[in-house]
Structure 1
Amino acid sequence: SGSMVFRSEEMCLAQLFLQSGSEYDCISELGELGLVEFRDLNPSVSSFQRRFVSEIKRCEEMERILGKAAPGMCHVLTPGYAYCQNNRQVSDDCVLQSGPPELLLEQLQRLEMELSEVARNKEKLQRNLLELTEYTHMLKITRAFIHSRSRVSFSLFVSGLIQRVKVEAFERMLWRVCKGYTILSYAEVDENLADLDTGEISKSVVFLISFWGDQIGQKVQKICDCYHCHLYPHPENDEERADVLDSLKTRIQDLNNVLHRTEDYLRQVLQKASESAYTWVVQVKKMKAIYHILNLCSFDVTNKCLIAEVWCPVSDLANLRGALEEGSRKGDATVPSFVNRIPSTDTPPTLLRTNKFTSGFQSIVEAYGVGDYREVSPAPYTIITFPFLFAVMFGDLGHGLVMSLFALWMVLTEKTQKKKRSSNEIWATFFSGRYIILMMGLFSVYTGLIYNDCFSKSLNIFGSGWSVKAMFTNQQNKTLQNNALLMLDPNVSGVFSGPYPFGIDPIWNLAVNRLSFLNSYKMKMSVIIGVIHMTFGVVLSVFNHLHFRQKYNVYVLFLPELLFLLCLFGYLVFMILYKWLAFGARDSSQAPSILIHFINMFVMQGKDITPLYPGQTGLQIFLVLVALLSVPVLLLGKPLYLYWLYRGGKGLRRRRCLLLEDSMFIVCSVFQFDLADVVLHQAIHTIEYCLGCISNTASYLRLWALSLAHAQLSEVLWAMVMRLGFNITDRMGVVFLVPVFGLFATLTVSILLVMEGLSAFLHRDQKRFVSGTSITCYCFTLNCFYKLSVS
């Protein structure tokens, strides 16, 4: 099942007996289903000394060949190749019907030899074409040199091409070595030519050196070799020059024709190879993965059977047996492979099944640690709590709506986006969390309606419950003239008709004391949500204690933890709710401060302060004493109980060991108990829990702090940007409003949606009941290779 579970899968250790000849097909079937995690049975053997090293090297050789041919294939991708990538079913059929590795390697080696031979021929043809082109430019340019100088004094010539950047140094070297007994003429070639050795495109210069004497000629030759000049024979006269130019023209045409035919043939080879490239890549990756798994197995004493050990979900044992039967059938094994479940004292890995909706939330949970085997999984609850806590900080109807629409677009176009396979890591992160963003956006719309906040403005949907008209009947003109601000008194008849049906009354958006009212409301709401959140985590730990049959933990861990949390911070929530209910508009001036009462609760003072309710002092002293007494119970309860259990159970264990020593499934060992180790561990847990209750209650005030920051940033953007556009009342105001709105939208998305959205990823709830010390079960699967491409 791909649905989210509330507890990790029940796992078992199984032993696979894979018959020789069918082990490859059996592992392939298991990889297609992705059922099991293999254990390494050869931990002391290095990776270079294992049995299937040669097969892995063969796969790496095939990967090298495909990697070498991939750039060429990317330029000639065919509809068949695209179809093979986009149609998963066709690709799967091609892969599942693959032949033996030796046949595929031979096929790829033939392809490599053919491509190498064609590439060498093409390179040789291109080099010859470049030489003939250079020779043609040299003959055309040196014709002017010969006609412009006397041919009496000098009878010998050296001509060729040199790179433009080397000309000056080349000329100085000729002058110094030959002592002026040479004449150098050169001119730049109009066309950019590729270098014969490096292939780089650069400017070249044609030169003609006239000299007399063999010794000077030898020096000139050595200098040309030193500067990597390309030398070509110089004709004796104009008739010979014309004949050479004609022959060069014909040879260049022939070379171009041959080169085009070579490129067409190379394109045909690559096009044919690209049609099977996706299948080859997947086959090679699968082969390499299967042989890596086979290297984890060990042989029996007869060397005719491979033995593997796997962690497998108990619910998938039937599928595991079916996969082995199918692999034995495909491998034509005379003896079928089989599975045997074996007992183990090792802790199994944690396997939590997810789907595309729940995988993102599970990743958030595992970022802080993987829960122990069979512990309660916090991921199902995180689906609600994480977006809700985000929305408490991010609550804005407009911003939440924009975020929801963006996430909804990613969800509706997820198939198209997956086919594109973008390499942008930031976009991949957003896309993988599309359902998280959708939930956060929807919850932000809800909290935005509660806060009655939409781009820093309130919506008057149901009509305000406050009326200013009633105040004027009781106010004198002098009072109205001398006071810039007047308070709406709900005690005056007709001023306050009742609370707003849903959310905050929109009139608070006009009030001067709006920030004070909202801060008080959000601060108290954050404390209430935080205490409920932490209490929920503590309560969930009961299910772990009962599942692992540790009922004593309910009394020595759960109850002291719950009493400590509720007697202190649960009572704080009670005082907040009691003050809201007990004091109204008429006696609001007499409402005491909760902060003062909460501080006096710990210092045992405050008899002179008016109590919230009768008997408050006695109840507070009782709650503090209960909270203080729960700490030593939490610290010493579990160690003392385990010590008593250990001392009192020694004789009983000895008698049971004698009765069960012949059993093959029970391993009798004396239970080792170290009181100091247990006390130290419990002391660390007690300190962490008690300090964590205090610090986390304070940290939940970040819900209020970030909500305040978000609201203030939104208000600043509206006041400093959008209001500028609305202040222009003439006809140009409409034109000016377009760029202003563009700037407002850009700043809203970049600052409020992206920056504030990322900063609101704060809270987690699994630390109250999840240890986070286990490891994830990584099942061997081959399905991931179907997402590969040649590029």
Structure 2
Amino acid sequence: MGSMFRSEEVALVQLFLPTGAAYTCVSQLGELGLVEFRDLNASVSAFQRRFVVDVRRCEELGKTFTFLQEEVRRAGLALAPPEGLLPAPPPRDLLRIQEETDRLAQELRDVRGNQQALRTQLHELQLHAAVLGQGQGQGHGPPVASSYTDGPSERTPLLQSPGGPHQDLRVNFVAGAVELHKAAALERLLWRACRGFLIASFREMEQQLEDPVTGEPAPWMTFVISYWGEQIGQKIRKITDCFHCHVFPFAEQEEARRGALQQLQQQSHELREVLGETERFLSQVLGRVQRLLPPWQVQVRKMKAVYLALNQCSVSATHKCLIAEAWCATRDLPTLQQALQDSSSEAGVSAVVHRIPCRDMPPTLIRTTRFTASFQGIVDAYGVGRYQEVNPAPYTIITFPFLFAVMFGDVGHGLLMFLFALAMVLAEDRPSVKKAQNEIWQTFFGGRYLLLLMGLFSVYTGFIYNECFSRATVIFPSGWSVAAMANQSGWSDAFLAEHPLLTLDPNVTGVFLGPYPFGIDPVWSLAVNHLSFLNSFKMKMSVILGVTHMAFGVVLGIFNHVHFGQLHRLPLETLPELVFLLGLFGYLVFLVVYKWLRVSAASAASAPSILIHFINMFLFSRSPTNRPLFPGQEVVQSTLVVLALAMVPILLLGTPLFLSRQHRRHRRRHADQQPDETKTGLLDSPDAGWGSDEEKAGCPGDEEKAEFVLSDVLMHQAIHTIEFCLGCISNTASYLRLWALSLAHAQLSEVLWAMVLNKGLSMSREIGVAAVVLVPIFAAFAVLTVAILLVMEGLSAFLHALRLHWVEFQNKFYSGTGYKLSPFTFNVEDE
């Protein structure tokens, strides 16, 4: 079989890598992505391994790269992806990359520090200039008495001194700037703390200043405070410090302030020139980082991956080579050998590869394409298949979309889903589509081929159901004739007026002309018993599909038993399972199909009930009113029930007794044959030590370590027998979800049509209202169709189809207890 039907053959190989060429060899293996290394130093901590120093150096470089990347993003630049394929650099280049990286990082830190200092200094100069600009043209003399008192109080002396109350007080100034959102609180606190013994002037700056740290523009408020008294001045300075105000010197004379303002403007001009030169130099450094960082990141990540792989190798006794063990696909062994020879040619000693025996279960390798990846992902989500186990994915490609479509069958809804998936398929090579960061979009895009088939199969089942947005379509002429019934029965206008519901009798000549060529006849959409007819059809169809699906799963188990050499399972497990399943539920399917073919319209009134026959089958009884479908039916039914019940003890005891007998034989000749078997296994087949039989007591590959315990095997087989026998009943009933979901989808579609679009079409019959009403109603219909019927109902049908495959189908033959082959590759690093 091909690799899609079961996993590829995987071998355990041992690699002898010369010490001088080990790095080059592993690097080449990372480019090819052929092998999965096994850790031969599992008992050694990560800090005691051979290449831990190199790994730490790569990690430190990664931290420096992160700093450089953040600096590039801070400048509003983007890192371009590296051009071409970059191999892992030689080990000696790591020191060069580290030196250049450290130099660039130090230059960036120095330039950023200088830029920050210059911006802070320029910010201070701008604030100081704004404060001095506020004082231009304003006279700041001694405050008058009215500024701090409303009039004489009881404590005011009657006789004032000749010089006045303030002749010895000197006016002082505090000037500065505060952030706008703090200005109101600062003004209130100053007034209350100083009890009004001050004059404060606040003015908002016309231009917002750039914050030196964040670079964001921020509004500022300048203030000039006149006060007298040393205690008041101390209070003012403490309050401004608490509000983180920028306080600047403020001369009393206007001429001095004007001179200081001119000097500040000159300094600001010089600072801007220096800051411009600094930013130009910063741009040059960032340009070098932007050019060098992407290839460095890829190279250092590859180097770290190589050293981590080398840490999993052991050192030979002579310390001349490294020994590695790895899993590799058998068909890739020649490529592996050639790659190692090419990589180690410069060292003078070629690397050696040879297969070794292994008792561990090999990993599972199934190669996928962009089409099969989503279907394989559905299977692997349940569990990765065991090595060489039958892979359900090829069959899931057809069965999963089909069972989904059985529940989602509608031509219109399926066509919308198909077109949506087709658009993603056609645009799959666009970088903007492939690398979109939206998680929901990535989910849909990853399953685009699955959605494509789901939509296509839904269109097919929609034609079977004859439903397009819940409406029936007339593609072929109907097989029913109302005119023939009217002529035969003599229906008049008065009769039609009195009888709104009429019955078409297929036994009347000319009424039923024959079956509809494809799907359900559209005349059924007009019938009152339309729902009853569809329910009967879909219920029987669900049972037929379910039994067929489960029987196919049991048949696939045959390929597993033959491949693993477990031929005893064919008569002891597979055959009893098929007899039990088909003898009971396969017979039910036979009754349904036989009744469809045997009973005609003429004998439909006296047709026997399949349900009564099936119940009587288990009760070993008969119903006088329910005649048999065929002669000898009771004998056939009794025989099938007895045969099915007889399969239960075979299924329960057959395998344990066979294994017990085989184990006794093995013990009798174990002492004589053990040396020969070990020798033969090592010479003939490197993988001969691994198997999957329960003969090894449930532990694959541990034949010598695990002891055969009959009670454990009996318990395991009893669980399997009970699960299968009860599962045949419950799983068959579980497939009725196909009928239930299909009915729910059809009814929701019918309700949406009747309650939304049909009402809009009824309103549009009035002239002049059509354009006004139909647009919003159709918009609502479209939104509800997508949200409810496509998204919600589609997700529901998807989950139910998932359950039918995981539980009802795969448990018949698929264990899903393996693990994937995870090859050592640089592909992830390159991306």
Q: Same fold (TM over 0.5)?
A: yes
2:648·2:721 contact (CA, 8 Å) conserved in 1?
A: yes
Matching residue of 1:125 = 118
Alignment of 1:680-691 (within 5 A): 680-691=715-726
Q: Tell me the amino acid that sits aligned with residue 626 of structure 1.
A: L
Distance 1:502 1:29, change over 3 A: same
Matching residue of 2:162 = none
Residues of 2 paired with 1:155 and 1:149: CA distance? 6
Please tell me whether residue 284 in structure 1 is matched to residue 284 in structure 2.
no
Residues of 1 paired with 2:106 and 2:512: CA distance? 90
Please tell me whether residue 748 in structure 1 is matched to residue 785 in structure 2.
yes
Distance 1:95 1:267, change over 3 A: farther
Matching residue of 2:48 = 49
Matching residue of 1:471 = 485
Q: Tell me the amino acid that sits aligned with residue 794 of structure 2.
A: G
Residue 187 of structure 1: how far off its partner (Å): 3.3
Please tell me whether residue 636 in structure 1 is matched to residue 666 in structure 2.
no
Distance 1:647 1:482, change over 3 A: same
Residue 786 of structure 1: how far off its partner (Å): 2.2
Please tell me whether residue 773 in structure 1 is matched to residue 817 in structure 2.
yes
Matching residue of 1:528 = 544
Residues of 2 paired with 1:557 and 1:74: CA distance? 64
Please tell me whether residue 653 in structure 1 is matched to residue 646 in structure 2.
no
Distance 1:179 1:726, change over 3 A: closer
1:76·1:274 contact (CA, 8 Å) conserved in 2?
A: no
Residue 413 of structure 1: how far off its partner (Å): 0.5
1:77·1:271 contact (CA, 8 Å) conserved in 2?
A: no
Matching residue of 2:93 = 100
1:161·1:206 contact (CA, 8 Å) conserved in 2?
A: yes
Matching residue of 1:581 = 597
Please tell me whether residue 626 in structure 1 is matched to residue 643 in structure 2.
yes
Residues of 2 paired with 1:13 and 1:103: CA distance? 38
Please tell me whether residue 142 in structure 1 is matched to residue 135 in structure 2.
yes
Distance 1:61 1:550, change over 3 A: same
Superposed CA offset, 1:130-187 (max 9, x none): 0011001111113455446559742432222233444566556656776766544433
1:39·1:296 contact (CA, 8 Å) conserved in 2?
A: yes
Q: Alignment partner for residue 109 of structure 2, among 116, 119, 133? A: 116
2:88·2:303 contact (CA, 8 Å) conserved in 1?
A: no
Residues of 2 paired with 1:699 and 1:346: CA distance? 37
Q: Tell me the amino acid that sits aligned with residue 128 of structure 1.
A: Q
Alignment of 1:566-577 (within 5 A): 566-577=582-593
Residues of 2 paired with 1:731 and 1:222: CA distance? 77
Residues of 2 paired with 1:76 and 1:622: CA distance? 84
Runs of 5+ unmatched residues, structure 1: none
Q: Give the SS at the match of 1:159.
A: strand
Q: Alignment partner for residue 827 of structure 2, among 780, 783, 786? A: 783
Superposed CA offset, 1:400-437 (max 9, x none): 11111111111111011566511111100100000100
Matching residue of 2:316 = 300
Residues of 1 paired with 2:296 and 2:142: CA distance? 66
2:143·2:198 contact (CA, 8 Å) conserved in 1?
A: no
Q: Give the SS at the match of 2:430.
A: helix
Matching residue of 2:253 = 237
1:4·1:354 contact (CA, 8 Å) conserved in 2?
A: no
> What's the RMSD between the two structures over aligned residues?
2.6
Q: Tell me the amino acid that sits aligned with residue 491 of structure 1.
A: N
Residue 92 of structure 1: how far off its partner (Å): 0.8
2:480·2:523 contact (CA, 8 Å) conserved in 1?
A: yes
Matching residue of 1:760 = 797
Residues of 1 paired with 2:258 and 2:85: CA distance? 64
Residue 36 of structure 1: how far off its partner (Å): 1.1
Matching residue of 2:4 = 5
| Farther off after superposition, 475-484 or 461-470 | 475-484
Residues of 1 paired with 2:389 and 2:424: CA distance? 33
Q: Tell me the amino acid that sits aligned with residue 779 of structure 2.
A: G
Please tell me whether residue 326 in structure 1 is matched to residue 325 in structure 2.
no
Matching residue of 1:489 = 505
Alignment of 1:481-520 (within 5 A): 481-520=497-536
Q: Give the SS at the match of 1:255.
A: helix
Residues of 2 paired with 1:98 and 1:652: CA distance? 57
Matching residue of 2:290 = 274
Residues of 2 paired with 1:169 and 1:282: CA distance? 54
Distance 1:786 1:669, change over 3 A: closer
Residue 287 of structure 1: how far off its partner (Å): 2.0
Q: Alignment partner for residue 613 of structure 2, among 597, 609, 617? A: 597
Residues of 2 paired with 1:432 and 1:365: CA distance? 15
Residues of 1 paired with 2:400 and 2:421: CA distance? 16
Superposed CA offset, 1:719-750 (max 9, x none): 11211221112243134322222221211111
Please identify the structure whose Cα radius of gyration is greater: 2
Residues of 2 paired with 1:646 and 1:139: CA distance? 103
Superposed CA offset, 1:326-367 (max 9, x none): 3224xx323222222111111111111111111110110011
Q: Alignment partner for residue 342 of structure 1, among 323, 341, 356? A: 356
Q: Tell me the amino acid that sits aligned with residue 772 of structure 1.
A: G
Relative to the length of structure 1, the TM-score reads 0.93
2:414·2:458 contact (CA, 8 Å) conserved in 1?
A: yes
Matching residue of 1:310 = 326
Alignment of 1:156-235 (within 5 A): 156-167=172-183, 170=186, 182-193=198-209, 202-212=218-228, 217-218=233-234, 220-235=236-251
Superposed CA offset, 1:621-650 (max 9, x none): 110111111111101100011111112332
Q: Give the SS at the match of 1:519.
A: helix
Please tell me whether residue 737 in structure 1 is matched to residue 736 in structure 2.
no
Q: Tell me the amino acid that sits aligned with residue 367 of structure 2.
A: R
2:543·2:735 contact (CA, 8 Å) conserved in 1?
A: yes
2:479·2:515 contact (CA, 8 Å) conserved in 1?
A: yes
Residues of 2 paired with 1:272 and 1:7: CA distance? 51
| Farther off after superposition, 414-423 or 639-648 | 414-423
Q: Give the SS at the match of 1:210.
A: strand
Please tell me whether residue 429 in structure 1 is matched to residue 446 in structure 2.
no
Matching residue of 2:695 = none
Residues of 1 paired with 2:214 and 2:287: CA distance? 28
Matched pairs, number: 778
2:140·2:252 contact (CA, 8 Å) conserved in 1?
A: no
2:27·2:88 contact (CA, 8 Å) conserved in 1?
A: no
Q: Tell me the amino acid that sits aligned with residue 125 of structure 1.
A: L
Residues of 1 paired with 2:411 and 2:3: CA distance? 30
Residue 506 of structure 1: how far off its partner (Å): 1.1
Distance 1:745 1:179, change over 3 A: closer
1:192·1:202 contact (CA, 8 Å) conserved in 2?
A: yes
| Farther off after superposition, 309-318 or 275-284 | 275-284
Matching residue of 1:375 = 389
Q: Give the SS at the match of 2:327.
A: strand
Q: Alignment partner for residue 672 of structure 1, among 700, 707, 712? A: 707
Matching residue of 2:33 = 34
Q: Give the SS at the match of 2:202.
A: strand
Residue 752 of structure 1: how far off its partner (Å): 1.0
Matching residue of 1:714 = 749
Q: Tell me the amino acid that sits aligned with residue 364 of structure 2.
A: T
Residue 5 of structure 1: how far off its partner (Å): 1.6
Residues of 2 paired with 1:298 and 1:702: CA distance? 56
Please tell me whether residue 539 in structure 1 is matched to residue 576 in structure 2.
no
Q: Tell me the amino acid that sits aligned with residue 460 of structure 1.
A: V
Superposed CA offset, 1:552-574 (max 9, x none): 00011101111110011000000
Residue 673 of structure 1: how far off its partner (Å): 1.2
**Identical-residue share of aligned pairs (%):** 52
Q: Tell me the amino acid that sits aligned with residue 665 of structure 1.
A: L
Residue 505 of structure 1: how far off its partner (Å): 0.9
2:175·2:250 contact (CA, 8 Å) conserved in 1?
A: yes
Residues of 2 paired with 1:282 and 1:630: CA distance? 62
Residue 607 of structure 1: how far off its partner (Å): 4.0
Q: Tell me the amino acid that sits aligned with residue 449 of structure 1.
A: F
